[in-house]
Chains A and B, each alone.
Chain A
Amino acid sequence: MTKRVSRSREGAPTRAKTDTGKLKLLLVGLFFAAIWLTLWGRAAYVQLYLGPELKKGADRQSLATGFELGERGRIYDRNGSILATSVESKSVYVSPIKVVNAAQTAQILGQILDVPQKNIERDLSSKKGFVWIKRQIGDREAQAIEAEKLPGVFLTSEYRRMFPNHHSAGQVIGFVGVDGVGLEGMEKHFEERMAGRQAKYVVQRDATGRRLYLDDQGREMDIRGADVRLTLDTVIQDAAEQALADAVTRYNGRSGMALVIKVESGEILALAHFPFLNPNAASLSKTSARRFRAALDMFEPGSTMKPFVFAAALEQKVIDQSKIFDCENGKWVLRGKTIRDTHPYHWLSANRILRYSSNIGTAKIGLALGAQPYYNTLRKLGFGERSGLNIPSESPGLLRPAKEWGEFDLATISFGQGIGVTGLQMAKAYMVLANKGVAKPLKLILEPFATEQPPAVRIFSQQTVETVLSMMREAVEEDGTGKLARIPGVVVAGKTGTAQKAAATGKGYGEGNVASFVGLFPGDKPEFLIMAIVDEPSPVALGGIVCAPTVREIAIKTLSYYNRLPEAKAAAPQAEPSESSVHEKATRAPSALTGANVPDLSGLPVRRALEALGKRGIVPTLKGSGMIISHQKPLPGEPWPEAKSSGKGDGFVLWLHEGTK
């Protein structure tokens, strides 16, 4: 290895110079090392010492807490139609300190929101940081406000409760306040279940304040409220409400209620109240219109109670159907007080007492039965206790203990005076008769499903119930008080009620009455229980006149909805009260139906053509598809063919084609 030694020109070695270079290199190296260490030190100081504090500061700038409020659960009817739902709507608020021109802002907001300008100006002069201007406004109003871009005016999203069926079952469904909290009806009853929950989570903000989706943290929970499904059917409900409204209006009643119950399951298909309550505008309604009368209002039922004393007396073998009682020619003094019948009768058999609704006869049966057995029966039927539907503030009715009853009390309670019941209690008691003597709970809620079902209890023997039902059929099908409830082709059992109302003074009875009718359809094997009650009808107050036609109308629509109405051939053609009105409304009625020759049916809707031919007892054969008659056989002008008893192929053929109606 050769050693290199630099030499100077004179030949002397240059070691000192080399040493200086190394020193310089060392210094530079140290310098950079110092810088490097400083940087690392600073980085370590920032990361390790200042890190947590800086992170907090950064998070404060870039992260924000977000809230999400879940939608309130919906209310459905039995078929899935929406009865109540929540939709997103905007609410307007202002931050007064950020408003630039208060007068102009108030003017614009006033015009868009239809709010007095003065009110808005007052709000804008507030020293608060947040003032509501109007909540849950329409989409058009929200768009108009957004377009104005007013400083200090903001929109926020809220849920607004909407009821698409307007007043339908308004009192049953109830309504919510502006904050979405249930205040009445099912909305109140299921508040905890249906209320939307709140999720709190963290979002990242960018420099412009936009919020970014980071992850699901905090939002994993289901914040949507649970749904509720009722047993109501909007179609039946509408039919009941329409018929009830007609009756209350026609007879100048104060209010009314109607129920339709499916006997097999105890499900309430309709629960109508009048006056109506539109939950969309509940705040505009009278307090009296908001009452869930069927559960809250107690009334003396009158003669609709009679079948129960008959059933109890039959069960106790106190009477049989043919046992006769002296009805005292319509006036009977008992313990110094007079009991009257609307018509004078002398000797009547038990079945005729119910058919003609004799108070005196029923009072005598009640007296023969005795207070304690009758009281026990009434308790078993559910009187004197709540119906089990858990309606908020439901009334248990008024049924005094039997030991407090005098002889006159027993007599009057037998025909439904001196006892207070609710509409639901009455329906529940009639369900026992409709269900062949076995008590069945009423149902208004399908979902959430009630896990605990009370055991079925037999209260009357089947034979007793059959006897009572036959008496109730007589009341309608014979010359009884309920004959206006007859439906051709359908056996109807029913009972009318016309009760006196207690005087406002609290002593004795006043002028007002409660008219009622309870019908079972069909009367031999009941499938539907329909009840209508009208409070203080006038000038006519009889249940057989005021309520029996109402129940009939509801029953026709209910039976037709469930395909239980007799077909064209089975019905008596003369008993069709609404047929003429239907034909009057027709856009084109088939002409000369009563003439000797066949009319031109082409162009008619198939339904109307079938109605027209059915009236003559002809069941045509339909060919093709569609809803409009294209042509026919026999041709117009030809003689009518003979109707065959079979009902099929009467020689009349209708060809159909597609049409718009």
Chain B
Amino acid sequence: MSASKGSVLMYFCAISGVLLLSLSSVWLNIERMDLAYDLSKMEKELGSRTALASKLELERNNLISPYRLKRLAATYGLGPVGPGQMRLMTGQDQGK
């Protein structure tokens, strides 16, 4: 009798194990799909942010290009330094 009980228990454990593994597999698959959706979404966002960063970097480079800075400087009455106009600023000159 105890032997048959042991067999039943063994079958029960085996079936439970199989069920558990199957459920785990299903759960993992669902998680994997969720992650895949999230990753796709994040990839898309990363792509769009990278593209935006590239465009902003381009814009920044355009704004600080000598061509633009020269025009901006001219509006403030600034121009290139000429001979005899340069003064190299040292720490001593700047005072406290």
Residue ranges of A at the interface with B (Cβ–Cβ < 8 Å): 81-82, 85-88, 139, 162, 164-166, 168, 204, 206, 210-214, 234-235, 237-239, 242, 487-490, 556-557, 560, 563, 565-568, 570-573, 575-579, 581-582, 585-587, 607-608, 610-611, 614, 619, 621-625, 648, 661
Contact = CB atoms under 8 A, between A and B. Distances in A.
A565 B81 contact: yes
B4 to A, nearest CB: 18
Most-contacted residue by chain B among A86, A488, A567, A572 (CB, 10 A): A567
14 contacts: A162-B58, A168-B66, A212-B33, A212-B39, A212-B40, A213-B40, A489-B84, A560-B81, A567-B87, A567-B88, A581-B79, A582-B85, A619-B87, A622-B89
Contact of A585 (B65, B66, B77, B82): B77
Contact of B87 (A86, A88, A585, A610): A610
A230 to B, nearest CB: 15
B67 A213 contact: no
A204 B57 contact: no
Contacts of A82: 57-58, 61
B2 interface: no
Contact of A614 (B51, B79, B87): B87
A261 to B, nearest CB: 19
A624 B94 CA distance: 7
B54 interface: yes
A609 B94 CA distance: 14
Interface in B29-61: 33, 36-37, 39-40, 43, 47, 51, 54-55, 57-59, 61
Given A621-B93, A624-B95, A572 B54 contact: no
B95 A623 contact: yes
B40 A211 contact: yes
B62 interface: yes
B6 interface: no
B15 to A, nearest CB: 15
A213 B43 contact: yes
Contacts of A587: 76-77
A614 B82 CA distance: 12
Contact of B67 (A162, A168, A625): A168
A572 B84 contact: yes
Contacts of B95: 621-624
Given A85-B54, A579-B82, A622-B89, 11 more contacts: A81-B65, A164-B58, A164-B65, A168-B66, A212-B37, A488-B83, A560-B81, A560-B82, A578-B82, A614-B84, A623-B94
A582 B83 CA distance: 13
Nearest to A204: B36
B96 interface: yes
A124 B54 CA distance: 34
Contacts of A610: 87
Most-contacted residue by chain A among B43, B65, B76, B88 (CB, 10 A): B65
A235 B65 CA distance: 8
Contacts of A573: 84
Contacts of A607: 78
A87 B48 CA distance: 11
A576 B96 contact: no
A212 B36 contact: yes
5 closest cross-chain pairs (CB), A and B: A571-B84, A623-B95, A238-B66, A213-B39, A212-B36
B86 A582 contact: no
B82 A577 contact: yes
Contact of B62 (A164, A238, A570): A164
A560 B86 contact: yes
B67 A568 contact: no
A563 B86 CA distance: 8
A573 B37 CA distance: 72
Contacts of B1: none
A87 B65 contact: no
Contacts of A614: 84-85, 87
B3 interface: no
Contacts of B82: 556, 560, 565, 576-579, 582
Contacts of A242: 70
A587 B74 CA distance: 10
A166 B62 CA distance: 8
A234 B62 CA distance: 11
Contacts of A586: 77
Given A568-B84, A578-B79, A214 B36 contact: yes
Contact of B83 (A213, A489, A621): A489
B89 to A, nearest CB: 8
A487 B83 contact: yes
A565 B78 CA distance: 18
A165 B84 contact: no
Contacts of B57: 82, 85
A512 B83 CA distance: 35
Nearest to A563: B88
A88 B88 contact: no
Given A88-B51, A238-B70, A622 B93 contact: yes
Contacts of A566: 83-84, 86
Contacts of A557: 80
A607 B81 CA distance: 10
Contacts of B36: 204, 212-214
Contacts of B92: 648
B87 to A, nearest CB: 5
A213 B57 CA distance: 28
B83 A490 contact: yes
A565 B94 contact: no
A582 B51 contact: no
Contacts of B74: 585
B69 to A, nearest CB: 9
Contact of A165 (B54, B67, B96): B67
Nearest to A237: B66
Contact of A87 (B43, B54, B66, B67): B54
A489 B36 CA distance: 69
A442 to B, nearest CB: 23
Interface string B5-37: 000000000000000000000000000010011
Contacts of B78: 585, 607
Contacts of A621: 93, 95
A88 B52 CA distance: 9
B67 A238 contact: yes
A102 B81 CA distance: 61
B83 A556 contact: yes
A586 B77 CA distance: 4
